[in-house]
Amino acid sequence: DLQLTQSPSFLSASVGDRVTITCRASQGISSYLAWYQQKPGKAPKLLIYAASTLQSGVPSRFSGSGSGTEFTLTISGLQPEDFAIYYCQQLSSYPPYTFGQGTKLEIK
């Protein structure tokens, strides 16, 4: 099965910072990648699909890039509500529709 590896697993940052999370695929997945945000006790929320397309209603401070095997999620100007866990997911080689292990973004 295709594997996704996110880095870092934990990230400490301050309000206003710019942060980047990386997701690496064990084989090429073109642009079939999504990013989700999950807050404690809540369901995941789709942020970005097709590697770089912002889901409707998601603030423009979120952006995604990459193709093939390396992808990034960038948050420009962290807001208090952005502290959460972020997951990437591949939708190229299935089943399974693999998720990354998650990146926990914490307040410094």
Partner 1 sequence: EVQLVESGGGLVQPGGSLRLSCAASDFTFSAYSMNWVRQAPGKGLEWVSYISSSSGTMYYADSVKGRFTISRDNAKNSLYLQVNSLRAEDTAVYYCARGRPSNYMDVWGKGTPVTVSS
Contacting residues toward partner 1, per CB under 8 A = 1, 32, 34, 36, 38, 42-46, 49-50, 55, 87, 89, 91, 94-102
Looking at beta carbons only, is 75 or 89 nearer to partner 1?
89
Size (the chain), residues: 108
Kindly tell me which of 49 and 83 has the beta carbon lying closer to partner 1. 49
Q: How far is the CB of 84 from partner 1 (least distance, A)?
A: 13
Structure tokens belonging to residue 14: 């301050």
Smaller CB separation from partner 1, 18 or 94:
94
Q: How far is the CB of 82 from partner 1 (least distance, A)?
A: 19
Q: Which is nearer to partner 1, 20 or 92 (CB)?
A: 92
Q: How far is the CB of 41 from partner 1 (least distance, A)?
A: 9
Q: Which long-range contacts (CB under 8 A, 24 or more apart) does 92-101 make?
A: 92/2, 92/28, 92/29, 92/30, 92/32, 92/33, 93/1, 93/2, 93/27, 93/29, 96/1, 98/1, 98/2, 98/3, 98/4, 99/4, 100/4, 100/5, 100/6, 100/23, 101/4, 101/5, 101/6, 101/9
Smallest gap from Cβ 14 to partner 1, in A, equals 25
